Chain A
Amino acid sequence: MMSEYENPTITFYPHESEFDVNPEEQKPALSTNERLMNYNGRLKESLNNGIRFTEVFDTLINTTDLNELFQSIKTLASYQLDDDYLVYPIQYSRADFYLIFINRLLSLNDKETVILMSSEKDRALYHEFPGINACGRFKFKVDSADEQRAFYIDERTGLSLFYIDFSDKVLYFNSRDIVELLIANDAENDKEDLIRFEKYLVSIGECVEQAYGYEVDFNLLNARRNAVYPIVSETEPEVALDRLFIMGSEAGCMLKSGMNGEAIMNLSDSVVLTLFDENLAGGNSPKWVITVKDDEDKISFFDLLVRYDFFKDWYLENLQSVEIRRARCFWKEDDGEA
């Protein structure tokens, strides 16, 4: 990789006009010597800027300190390497820095399971997760409006699995795209691999949460005890519940009726799925949510989709009413998520 930096540097030769004093200004023209000094000074600044970059980049790829790591990615997220005097023709993009950051962060937490690859063609980096979507490649797509924000996407489909914001310190998982990519076309994915991939995604969220105090919406990947998954339907999803009752019965899981109108299903001895109106007691307008409880707080909604085929079929058939809500940053116009 070092060899890339040994390539000759192309410098921008300043256009003369930039040094020409605006004729309207009545100041005396710069002497040639002053111009040369000026130029040299700017060049030094550019070179120093480049050297500073290499130092920060060094930190990103080598530091063992989590805070230094974060400072380095924060700096690189908005670093302007090129300027009018000096342009580096061979560079890694911000999207690449973010990928490197994820690997470094996970490796410092002993959780690195994703492989950072470098494309033969253009040196661009990408993530490869063995077993997921065959030749699936994941990378970041930086928000054009704010380079500190990026979506982690599947390169082939463009589906985004999560959104990360380095300035606001938030990370949101995307229920819809995760399901579409991993569950809806799961024929090609082994269940074990899906669970490993889920663990990988969750560990990213956990690492930024623990190390840097990020606000993380684990969404359907959340296996914690207090996990609540709000669904898109505001009122009772009657049709979906009736279908769950029927499909559950065929799979040997009875959907039960609770004392307060909640729908309860024991998927196994220790895993209980509940759908209920969270606002029932408060007198506010209804807010239907799903919870998944298990003895060890290890099972997320996503796990149910992987483990129980009838449940997956039910969910995919009833997305219109029971889809797990996702953060606003994923909303697209006209898709009715408002």
Chain B
Amino acid sequence: MDNSNQFVLADHKQATIDLTNEIKNKLDYLQSLGRAVQAQDDRLVYQLIDSEKYSTEILKARHSSYDKSNERLVEDAYGLVSEYLSSNLIEFLRERYPFFYFEETETGKFQFYFGNWWGRRLFGTLDVLNVKFNFDENEYQKLVRSFEFEAENKRLNTDTIERLSQENDELQELLDSQSNREAEKERMRKKLKQLNQEKVMPWDAGKQREMKQRLTDELSRIAEIDEKAANGYQRIHENEKRVLELSKEDTLLGYEKQSIIAKFGSFENFKEKNAALYRDYITDLIATGNRRN
């Protein structure tokens, strides 16, 4: 039967060879990974799951292309890989960052607190596979600014606390002077009443009107102050609450700064060490023979 009109299809023999090779390639990869895990060779596991990162950071060599297809085979097992790698990594991190307290939230997922003090902040998550901290941006920025303020010998919230405290002093004064204002109002009302009852010569009428206007203006000015004072207690209470929160935050930041200085000498050095964490850790694994082994 002549099928010359048919398209030329793949050579089945070649296809068999190709697939066999590919499967062998994948099996080789998985077997290597399996052996690395068996041997507790964390360094090799890191290399196998992300060869590009490993080459770039450790070998300082950038290849033109990386075949990531094998690495994708374990993507759905990252949780388990991360879980496996975490125990040596966190041991290492606890030495280098004694002020971070790690907590596993689900398989292979870790978050950490800054410090063991009261009200300590949840500071971010740990990316085990990339040996990297993902700091909570909001909390991290507070720390950054707090270090900046240190140059001015101030704490992050010093100015706000001062402003709120001053506002409270003023409000307290308004509250304390309430009886004075009452007396003042009474005096003006009497005066106004008196002016209203007085008969004046036509040529004095303008002057009298002006006087009455002045008294009325003054009364409404005092009424405004009264209103401010009426909300004073509430406001003072809110301000006090806010001052407490801010003082607490300053105290927390103080402890955070102290911890960083004690361990890293400076915030700059802390940042540098964070940036070099992957390389430092792999180097440490090499130097210590994978730590536990």
CB pairs A–B below 8 angstroms (15 shown): A242-B119, A244-B118, A245-B117, A245-B118, A246-B247, A249-B251, A254-B118, A254-B255, A255-B117, A256-B118, A257-B116, A257-B117, A257-B119, A257-B120, A263-B118
The answer to whether A245 touches B248, judged by C-beta atoms less than 8 angstroms apart, is yes
Q: How many residues of A contact B (CB 8 A)?
A: 13
How would residues 237 to 248 of chain B score, 1 for a CB under 8 Å from any chain A CB and 0 otherwise?
A: 000000011011
How would residues 231 to 250 of chain A score, 1 for a CB under 8 Å from any chain B CB and 0 otherwise?
A: 00000000101111110010
Q: Is B254 an interface residue (CB 8 A)?
A: yes
Across-interface contacts of A263 in B (CB, < 8 A): 118
The answer to whether A241 touches B118, judged by C-beta atoms less than 8 angstroms apart, is yes
Which chain A residue has the least Cβ–Cβ distance from B241?
A239
The answer to whether A255 touches B244, judged by C-beta atoms less than 8 angstroms apart, is no
The answer to whether A254 touches B244, judged by C-beta atoms less than 8 angstroms apart, is no
Given A242-B244, A243-B244; 4 other pairs, CB 8 A cutoff = A246-B247, A246-B251, A254-B255, A256-B116
Kindly identify, within residues 104 to 153 of chain B, every residue whose CB is under 8 Å from any CB belonging to chain A: 116-120
Q: Shortest distance in angstroms between A175's beta carbon and chain B's nearest beta carbon?
A: 24
Which chain A residue has the least Cβ–Cβ distance from B248?
A242
Across-interface contacts of A245 in B (CB, < 8 A): 117-119, 248, 251
The answer to whether A256 touches B117, judged by C-beta atoms less than 8 angstroms apart, is yes
Task: Kindly state the separation between the CA atoms of A239 and B237 in the bound complex, as whole angstroms.
Answer: 13
Kindly identify, within residues 157 to 205 of chain A, every residue whose CB is under 8 Å from any CB belonging to chain B: none
How would residues 250 to 267 of chain A score, 1 for a CB under 8 Å from any chain B CB and 0 otherwise?
A: 000011110000010000
Across-interface contacts of B116 in A (CB, < 8 A): 256-257
Across-interface contacts of B255 in A (CB, < 8 A): 249, 254
The 9 A-B pairs at the shortest CB distance, nearest first, are namely A255-B118, A245-B118, A249-B251, A242-B248, A246-B247, A246-B251, A257-B118, A256-B116, A254-B117
Residue of A239, A244, A257, A263 with most partner-chain B CB within 10 A: A257
Q: Shortest distance in angstroms between B103's beta carbon and chain A's nearest beta carbon?
A: 11
Task: Kindly state the separation between the CA atoms of A103 and B116 in the bound complex, as whole angstroms.
Answer: 50
Chain B contact residues: over half helix, strand or loop, or mixed? helix
Binding site for A on B (CB under 8 A): 116-120, 244-245, 247-248, 251, 254-255
Task: Kindly state the separation between the CA atoms of A244 and B117 in the bound complex, as whole angstroms.
Answer: 12
The answer to whether A239 touches B118, judged by C-beta atoms less than 8 angstroms apart, is no
Task: Kindly state the separation between the CA atoms of A254 and B119 in the bound complex, as whole angstroms.
Answer: 11
Tally of A-B residue pairs with Cβ under 8 A? 35
Task: Kindly state the separation between the CA atoms of A241 and B117 in the bound complex, as whole angstroms.
Answer: 12
Across-interface contacts of B245 in A (CB, < 8 A): 242
Which chain B residue has the least Cβ–Cβ distance from A254?
B117
Across-interface contacts of B254 in A (CB, < 8 A): 249
Across-interface contacts of B119 in A (CB, < 8 A): 242, 245, 257
Across-interface contacts of A257 in B (CB, < 8 A): 116-120
Which chain A residue has the least Cβ–Cβ distance from B240?
A239
Q: Shortest distance in angstroms between A335's beta carbon and chain B's nearest beta carbon?
A: 22
Task: Kindly state the separation between the CA atoms of A40 and B116 in the bound complex, as whole angstroms.
Answer: 84
Residue of B116, B118, B244 with most partner-chain A CB within 10 A: B118
Which chain B residue has the least Cβ–Cβ distance from A263?
B118
Kindly identify, within residues 302 to 328 of chain A, every residue whose CB is under 8 Å from any CB belonging to chain B: none
Across-interface contacts of A239 in B (CB, < 8 A): 244
Task: Kindly state the separation between the CA atoms of A176 and B218 in the bound complex, as whole angstroms.
Answer: 49
Q: Shortest distance in angstroms between A297's beta carbon and chain B's nearest beta carbon?
A: 26
Task: Kindly state the separation between the CA atoms of A168 and B232 in the bound complex, as whole angstroms.
Answer: 52
Kindly identify, within residues 205 to 253 of chain A, every residue whose CB is under 8 Å from any CB belonging to chain B: 239, 241-246, 249
Q: Shortest distance in angstroms between A52's beta carbon and chain B's nearest beta carbon?
A: 64
Task: Kindly state the separation between the CA atoms of A246 and B244 in the bound complex, as whole angstroms.
Answer: 9
Q: Shortest distance in angstroms between B287's beta carbon and chain A's nearest beta carbon?
A: 33
Across-interface contacts of B117 in A (CB, < 8 A): 245, 254-257
Across-interface contacts of A242 in B (CB, < 8 A): 118-119, 244-245, 248
Which chain A residue has the least Cβ–Cβ distance from B116?
A256
Across-interface contacts of B120 in A (CB, < 8 A): 257
Q: Shortest distance in angstroms between A164's beta carbon and chain B's nearest beta carbon?
A: 40
Which chain B residue has the least Cβ–Cβ distance from A275?
B118
Across-interface contacts of A246 in B (CB, < 8 A): 244, 247-248, 251
Task: Kindly state the separation between the CA atoms of A221 and B160 in the bound complex, as whole angstroms.
Answer: 41
Q: Shortest distance in angstroms between B274's beta carbon and chain A's nearest beta carbon?
A: 24
Which chain A residue has the least Cβ–Cβ distance from B244?
A242
Which chain A residue has the least Cβ–Cβ distance from B247?
A246
Across-interface contacts of B244 in A (CB, < 8 A): 239, 242-243, 246
Q: Shortest distance in angstroms between B139's beta carbon and chain A's nearest beta carbon?
A: 16
Q: Shortest distance in angstroms between B100's beta carbon and chain A's nearest beta carbon?
A: 14
How would residues 17 to 28 of chain A score, 1 for a CB under 8 Å from any chain B CB and 0 otherwise?
A: 000000000000
Task: Kindly state the separation between the CA atoms of A254 and B254 in the bound complex, as whole angstroms.
Answer: 11
Task: Kindly state the separation between the CA atoms of A241 and B244 in the bound complex, as whole angstroms.
Answer: 11
Task: Kindly state the separation between the CA atoms of A241 and B251 in the bound complex, as whole angstroms.
Answer: 13
Kindly identify, within residues 256 to 314 of chain A, every residue whose CB is under 8 Å from any CB belonging to chain B: 256-257, 263
Task: Kindly state the separation between the CA atoms of A254 and B116 in the bound complex, as whole angstroms.
Answer: 10
Task: Kindly state the separation between the CA atoms of A243 and B120 in the bound complex, as whole angstroms.
Answer: 14
Which chain A residue has the least Cβ–Cβ distance from B120?
A257
Across-interface contacts of B251 in A (CB, < 8 A): 245-246, 249
Q: Shortest distance in angstroms between B276's beta carbon and chain A's nearest beta carbon?
A: 30
Which chain B residue has the least Cβ–Cβ distance from A264?
B118
Task: Kindly state the separation between the CA atoms of A256 and B119 in the bound complex, as whole angstroms.
Answer: 8
Kindly identify, within residues 109 to 135 of chain A, every residue whose CB is under 8 Å from any CB belonging to chain B: none
Residue of B116, B120, B254 with most partner-chain A CB within 10 A: B116
